[in-house]
Structure 1
Amino acid sequence: MIARHAARLTALAAVPAALAFASFPAAAHTGHPASASGDSYQVDLTSLNGSGAKGTAMLSLDGTRLTVKIEASGLVPGQPHAQHIHGSTSGHDFHCPDASADKNQDGIVTTAEGIPAYGDINISLTTKGDTSKNSGLAVDRMPTADKDGKLSYERTLTVSQKVVDHIKDLHVVQHGIDPNRNGKYDFGKGKSELDLKLPQEATAPADCGMLQGASVGSMPSGGVETGSGSTAGIESPGLIAGGGVAIAAAAGLMLVRRRRTHQITDSR
């Protein structure tokens, strides 16, 4: 009788905690984290540098085979758009940059200014051939937007096990902007710091979308790689609140155990 009563109290004490976990929203993260379904990830690409570009990237893993599908719009019509998967396979946490990355305040977040935020190239999303960092500026093998500024891309690649293990720490960036709206890349914003033969417009990021970052995916092994090493603003309110629920649940179970012990003692 005592055992059944104690079990009933334990079950009742666990109900509020279970309801709290069930109704608690997903952990918050800066930007637009990907939604995951099995080994597939959907990434929302949102505009950078006032480009108006946007789209959706689908990343699907089958072992070490990665299929990437991208549908984007608002890009510079008729122009090639370099695109990459950026980020770290060592557990470091990177994010899509915001306007504060524009260090020289010329109105454009260049690739060089954005790299401290979104990390180096991990995979070049070319249409054929090499997909390493070395093909990052292979504009002749990058997809071209149609006359309406739309771009469709699909390719299946073989990736390293490190990419598989840290897929949630990576994100997609497309490049190529047209700030003077003349429908082509020109040197109005100067030369690209990546290749002086290319205009800045051709290499500046146009949009970016994050997969689940290290704060909700794998734990960062070296802090935030922005030079400061600070983790301020990375802590997830959801995780912190979730910890509070866990503590409350633990306290409830401890209370039940104490009552059970007290009842058994009284029965003796």
Structure 2
Amino acid sequence: MVKRAGRRLVVLATVPAAAFLALGISGPALADSGKAYQIDLAQLNNSGSRGTVMLNLKGNQLTVRIESEGMVPGQPSAQHLHGSTKGHDFHCPDASDDTDRDGVLSNTEATKDYGDINISLTTSGDTKATSGLAVDRMPVADRKGKVSYQRTITVGQDVVDHIKDLHVVQHGIDRNKNDKYDFEGAGKSELDPKLPQEATAPTNCGEVKGAAVGSIPVGGIETGGGSSQSQALPVAIMAGAALVVYAATAGGIAVARKRVAEVSGRSQTPGGAA
């Protein structure tokens, strides 16, 4: 009887590991999942745009995921990681930075607050700062004005060390509300006279909030196409479920240990049950 109870204890002891594996989580897997940072995008230029960004850093591989809305439908949205990797303090601008008081916060006016481009968040090709206006390689908003973006980029150690000092800015506004970028809305861009100001003016900005392991919230901003990246359970939730399973099985282990002790005690008592 003692041997049989002992075997039961061994089986129960293996359940927590099995539970973690069933959920697709293991100790090393959690340790190798990298660091994640959340950014909430808030409107600029009264654009009505908002969004959520997740930055996941694993080694020198940076995965950027963006879900935003309130963009100009059917138009490309230039987007970048701005800021400094040299310790300078930059932050998102506000309406007070419209120094010429023309009602439009231009990229030039805003740059003194959010800093130069560090990484261009293109859909393909290079991600250098010089690709900041590569609108042919920027994501295009759908007919509802939503942008869904994901890309993994190899970054330098300076970005790894200063990821919290960077922030995301998306560009493109529709000042005259005709669902397109044109010169009538706000004139020419100060960055490139061949482009409308509407195409380069910032539409939103967000700063890193801090470590927040998980995935982009799917309850607030709709993803439109139901992209697969929004279907995964947040790691924190999955880990929590695993801990619940662990707690339950740990209780079973305690009961088994108590049973072994009782049986062992009886077997050592004269006339005790076998």
TM interval, shorter chain, is: 0.5 to 0.7
2:149 to 127, 150, 153: 153
1:103-122 mapped onto 2 (5 Å cutoff): 103-122=99-118
Query: Superposed, which structure 2 residues align to 1:116-135 within 5 Å?
Result: 116-135=112-131
Structure 2 equivalent of residue 210 of structure 1: 207
Q: In 1, are the aligned partners of 2:41 and 2:51 still within 8 Å (CA)?
A: yes
Cα distance in 1 for residues equivalent to 2:53 and 2:134: 20
Partner residue in 2 for 1:94: 90
**Given that residues 39 and 62 in structure 1 are in contact (C-alpha distance below 8 angstroms), is that contact kept between their aligned partners in structure 2?**
yes
Residue from 195, 208, 218 that aligns with 1:198 = 195
1:58 aligns with 2:54: yes
Residue 137 of structure 1: how far off its partner (Å): 0.0
Q: What is aligned with 2:137? A: 141
- Shift, 1:48, TM fit: 0.3
* AA matched with 2:147: L
SS in 2 for 1:211: strand
Comparing 99-108 with 204-213, greater Cα deviation is found at 204-213
Separation (CA, whole Å) in 2 of partners of 1:107 and 1:132? 30
**TM superposition score normalised by structure 1:** 0.65
> CA offset at residue 65 of structure 1?
0.2
Larger radius of gyration between Structure 1 and Structure 2: 2
Size of the aligned set, in residue pairs, is 177
C-alpha contact 2:170 2:203 (8 A) present in aligned 1: yes
Q: Distance in 2 between matches of 1:195 and 1:85?
A: 20
Percent identical: 68
In the TM superposition, residue 211 of structure 1 has moved relative to its aligned partner by 1.2
Deviations 1:181-216 (A, max 9, x none): 000001121110111100000000000000159xxx
CA contact 1:169–1:212 (8 Å) conserved in 2:
no
**Structure 1 residue 56 displacement after superposition:** 0.3
User: Segments of 4+ in structure 1 off by > 2 A?
Assistant: none
Tell me if the contact between 2:39 and 2:209 (Cα under 8 Å) persists in the aligned partners.
Answer: no
Q: Going by fraction, where is helix more abundant, 1 or 2? A: 2
Matching residue's letter, 1:162: D
Counterpart for residue 81 of structure 2: 85
Inter-partner Cα distance in structure 2 for 1:212 and 1:45: 11
Which whole-Å CA distance do the structure 1 matches of 2:48 and 2:161 have between them? 33
Please tell me whether the aligned partners of residues 57 and 71 of structure 1 are also in contact (alpha carbons under 8 angstroms).
yes
Please state if 1:42 is matched with 2:35: no
SS in 1 for 2:148: strand
Distance (Å, rounded) in 2 between the aligned partners of 1:132 and 1:99: 28
Residue ranges of structure 2 left out of the alignment (5+ in a row):
1-32, 211-274
CA distance in 2, matches of 1:38, 1:210: 19
Distance in structure 1 (CA, Å) of the matches to 2:191 and 2:55: 27
- Secondary structure in structure 1 of the residue aligned to 2:41: strand
Q: Shift of the alpha carbon at 1:38?
A: 6.2
* TM-score normalised to structure 2 length: 0.63
Match of 1:162, SS?
helix
Q: Deviations over 1:210-249 (max 9, x none)?
A: 0159xxxxxxxxxxxxxxxxxxxxxxxxxxxxxxxxxxxx
1:40-90 CA-partner distances (Å, limit 9, x unpaired): 011000000000110000000000000000000010000000000000000
| CA offset digits 1:12-48 (Å, max 9, x no partner) | xxxxxxxxxxxxxxxxxxxxxxxxx961011000000
Extract unaligned runs of 5+ from structure 1.
1-36, 214-268
